[in-house]
Amino acid sequence: MQFLGGNRRKLRLADDQRNACYPHSLQFYLQPPSGNISLIEFENLAIDRVKLLKAVENLGVSYVKGSEQYQSKLEAELRKLKFSYRENLEDEYEPRRRDHISHFILRLAYCQSEELRRWFIQQEMDLLRFRFSILPKDKIQSFLKDSHLQFEAISDEEKTLREQDIMASSHSLGGVQLELESVYKIPFADALDLFRGRKVYLENGFAYVPLKDIVAIILNEFRTKLSKALALTARSLPAVQSDERLQPLLNHLSHSYTGQDYSTQGNVGKVSLDQIDSLSTKSFPPCMRQLHKALRENHHLRHGGRMQYGLFLKGIGLTLEQALQFWKQEFIRGKMDPDKFDKGYSYNIRHSFGKEGKRTDYTPYSCLKIILTNPPSQGDYHDFGFSKRDTLPGSLSEVL
């Protein structure tokens, strides 16, 4: 790509040419863009896409991916930032062009470290998944063909011939009628994750994959390709960075992402004590829900539980004063002497907020840490929450 200083120059193409450039509202970004672009547009596109990907990340945390709210909010965000998302809208050339160019600009910024790459790939995958989910069925086939994926939908006759076998192989089909689902025929080696677990029907070297499972395959393909592309980009980066106009922008972009940092400074005062009960049933992960319930029921938690739950509450925004109030209130309900609480328990709470001892502001435990350290024994409620125990209250089936 060439970069112009000064005046913008938009490329004017005939309508046909414009449509041919971007035949779909989504793409695999196989070809880098060509043409000229001003520095200002370069910067704006990059910033807009970072905004978009951050929105994708936040929506994925706040809502269940694929749920109605998630879908409508993500669509609104795409519309606001003027990126492509849906077919059959008017004048789709510009949004698609913006989508194309901005993706490639961000590759330059996000190829630079393992963490950045992981984040970038994750958001781009979620974005692709969303766009694919709203793609009309009749457009899927041509999109796959244009993306050089050898996925052919089979005819209804072919489906009926194999109906029993496909239904018996594919878990994603449940009680659905096969007539309504598209089934794709792909070379078996392209469906490794499906056939190795016998989750798909194989015949004569082909896997017969229902639409729901195809999405997983497509996303895998996308992730592999993007991962390779980022590695390549990283190698050619020194040449790009030597362009003085670009260096400050790229640095700024990659640092504006601060990663999965749930540091409490950002979140202080965000939760009030009376919200906790309702939040625990609506938004807490099962392990924390279990701990909260046990605390309310027994008016007590053992050390492991206090650590895991206490730090979690800190992470979602409880201040030290709130935490002290919260724990004291609950323990007193369990007929604990207030003085005993002050003597024995409040020190630990202040310690976990970094106000005592070596003054480390502890962060909440990650899932991995919870799984690996300090397994629960009798009388403990701290747990990852997904192990096979029938006694787990609010068990997965109830939860989901």
Partner 1 sequence: MEAFDPAELPELLKLYYRRLFPYAQYYRWLNYGGVVKNYFQHREFSFTLKDDIYIRYQSFNNQSDLEKEMQKMNPYKIDIGAVYSHRPNQHNTVKLGAFQAQEKELVFDIDMTDYDDVRRCCSSADICSKCWTLMTMAIHIIDRALKEDFGFKHRLWVYSGRRGVHCWVCDESVRKLSSAVRSGIVEYLSVVKGGQDVKKKVHLSEKIHPFVRKSINIIKKYFEDYALVDQDILENKESWDKILALVPETMHDELQQSFQKHHNSLQRWEHLKKAASRCQNNSKNDKCGPWLEWEIMLQYCFPRLDINVSKGINHLLKSPFSVHPKTGRISVPIDLQKVDQFDPFTVPTISSICHELDVISTKEEEKENGAESDIKHRTRDYKKTSLAPFVKVFEQFLENLDKSRKGELLKKSDLQKDF
**Residues that bind partner 1 in the complex, under the rule CB under 8 A:** 165, 168-169, 171, 188-189, 192, 195-198, 201-206
Q: Which two tokens stand for residue 262?
A: 């749930």
Task: Please provide the DSSP assignment of 204-249 as one string.
Answer: TTEEEEEHHHHHHHHHHHHHHHHHHHHHHHHHHHHHHHTSTTTHHH
Least Cβ distance, residue 395 to partner 1 (angstroms): 13
Contact between 143 and 28 (Cβ < 8 Å): no
Name the minimum Å distance from CB 388 to partner 1. 12
Q: Are strands 2-4 and 36-38 parallel, antiparallel or unpaired?
A: parallel
Q: How far is the CB of 183 from partner 1 (least distance, A)?
A: 15
DSSP symbols for 26-72: -----S---SEEEHHHHHHHHHHHHHHHHHHHHHHHHS-TTSHHHHH
CB of residue 161 to partner 1, shortest distance in Å = 13
Residue 274 or 390 having the CB closest to partner 1 = 390
Element of type H or E holding 152: strand 152-153
User: In residues, how long is the chain?
Assistant: 400
Query: What is the distance between the alpha carbons of residues 13 and 374, in angstroms, rounded to a whole number?
Result: 64
- Alpha carbon 75 to its chain's center: 16
Report in angstroms how near the CB of residue 200 gets to partner 1 at its nearest. Answer: 9
Least separation, in Å, of the C-beta of 235 and partner 1? Answer: 18
Query: Smaller CB distance to partner 1: residue 116 or 194?
Result: 194
CB of 358 to partner 1, least distance (A): 46
Q: How far is the CB of 150 from partner 1 (least distance, A)?
A: 14
Q: Considering the complex, state which of residue 83 and residue 151 has its C-beta at the smaller distance from partner 1.
A: 151
Report how far residue 152's alpha carbon sits from residue 86's, in angstroms, rounded to the nearest whole number: 22
Cβ proximity to partner 1: between 61 and 189 the closer is: 189
Residue 193 or 243: which CB sits closer to partner 1?
193
Nearer to partner 1, 12 or 196 (CB): 196
CA proximity to 99, closest of 39, 56, 48: 48
3-state DSSP assignment of residue 6: coil
State the alpha helices, DSSP H only, in 82-162: 93-110, 114-133, 137-146, 156-161
User: Given the complex with partner 1, which of 167 and 332 has the nearer CB atom?
Assistant: 167
Closer CB to partner 1, residue 203 or residue 342?
Answer: 203
Quote the tokens at residue 308.
């895991």
